[in-house]
Amino acid sequence: MTEALEEVLARHKKEERDLVSRTTGMKKQANKRNRKQVMKHVRELEEELRQRHKSELEEVKGGESTEDSGEKVTPEMLLAQLELEEKSKEERQGGGQEVASSASNSTPSHRRNRQRERIAKREAAIKEKQEQARIGAENVADPRNIEVGNIEELCRVNQLVAYEITPDGHCLFASIADQLKRRQDIEMSVHELRSKAAEYIRSNPDTFTPFLFDESTMSLRDIGEYTKELENTAMWGGDLEILALSKVFDSPISVMMSGRAALKINEEGQQPELKIVFYQHSYGLGEHYNSLRDVGDVEEGDGFIKVEKRERGNRQTTEQGERDPERDLERDGEREEDSDVE
């Protein structure tokens, strides 16, 4: 005997909640290098569950229709029966009901009504669940606003201002380039910084190789392949590249973050400290770096970030989120050529 429709729906809801919990954990554990693989796996799990639920519902509905009436109740049959019931109701209200006709149709009407009640009950439960989810979502604090507020407060205390860097995959290197220009009067392009970081990593394999673990393949990446990708694509930079550049320029680099103390790398560096800020929730591409300038180092027209402008700015960066890394590299190269001409 197959499960009752209500039992199947209840089980399906539980399985959906379990899958949401599981995939949420997977997404939180994903990093920028394996995010695509994780999201693909999540979509496959969701599609697999959806297809299985669809198949089980069709099986249960088919079984119940056979049990109730001895024949499969199609949507056309159900619609026709509903029209007959509505017409009969109007005749009863007008005083023209025929007892014989009503009696002859009483049994199938009762069977179809029970099925309609089950459908109505299921729809009511779905609407209630949706309303609860909507209310819950309204009560959840927006991590983006929390992050921006925390960073604004840290900037105020430290007399710093976040300077907007384009979220195009080169943001770490562009932030450090801005810092070198402001604090050490050194002009460096994004590509030059990528090359310097790649060369330092290649020259110090004992330091960097242990950190080149690829979770998607569960193995260490070849340091030559890694640095080639770092040098020639818009691959995102992270802690390894920050460490490499701090050594290249003999400078401490501090990374401001929401909800924790600033991360300081190469504190023994002898040159002026470079200051950047890391965002995890505030940009469409996900993780992002901006440059931190001193409050007094403000120029007219500079893209400084304010709390009240964050929502609009986030929409802009979200629209920029769908970028082609190769096209970004071409644009960056064109900017370098223009600067060379000047």
- pLDDT, one tens digit per residue, over 176-193 is 999 999 999 999 999 999
In whole angstroms, give the CA distance from residue 118 to residue 73.
14
What 3-state DSSP class applies to 270? Answer: coil
CB contact set of 237 (below 8 Å; sequence gap of 6+) = 172, 173, 194, 197, 230, 289
In whole angstroms, give the CA distance from residue 293 to residue 298.
8
Question: Quick one: pLDDT at residue 326?
Answer: 44
- pLDDT, one tens digit per residue, over 293-333 is 999 876 655 554 433 333 333 333 333 333 444 444 444 45
- Which H or E run contains 50? helix 35-69
- Pick from 312, 47, 289, 72: which is nearest to 162 by CA? 289
Sign of CA dihedral 214, 248, 184, 234: negative
- pLDDT, one tens digit per residue, over 93-123 is 655 444 444 444 544 545 557 878 888 888 8
Question: Quick one: pLDDT at residue 321?
Answer: 37
Strands (E), the chain: 160-163, 213-214, 219-220, 253-256, 263-265, 274-283, 286-294
- pLDDT, one tens digit per residue, over 70-90 is 445 555 555 666 666 666 666
- pLDDT, one tens digit per residue, over 21-66 is 888 888 888 888 888 888 888 888 888 888 888 888 888 777 655 4
Give the confidence band of 143 by pLDDT, cuts at 50, 70, 90.
confident
**Ranges of CATH 3.90.70.80 domains, the chain:** 143-341
In whole angstroms, give the CA distance from residue 195 to residue 229.
10
- Pick from 235, 234, 239, 233: which is nearest to 254 by CA? 239
Whose tokens are 């379990």? That residue is 18
Which residues face 294 on adjacent strands? 160
Q: Which two tokens stand for residue 262?
A: 């600033």
Q: Which two tokens stand for residue 21?
A: 């919990």
In whole angstroms, give the CA distance from residue 231 to residue 327.
15
Q: Strand 219-220 and strand 213-214: pairing? A: antiparallel
What CATH fold (topology level) applies to the domain 143-341?
Cathepsin B; Chain A (3.90.70)
Taking a C-beta distance cutoff of 8 angstroms, is the pair 72, 65 a contact? yes
Taking a C-beta distance cutoff of 8 angstroms, is the pair 329, 233 a contact? yes
Give the confidence band of 92 by pLDDT, cuts at 50, 70, 90.
low
Give the confidence band of 7 by pLDDT, cuts at 50, 70, 90.
confident
- pLDDT, one tens digit per residue, over 149-171 is 899 999 999 999 999 998 888 99
* Eight-class DSSP state of 70: S
Q: What is the largest CA-CA distance in the chain?
A: 103
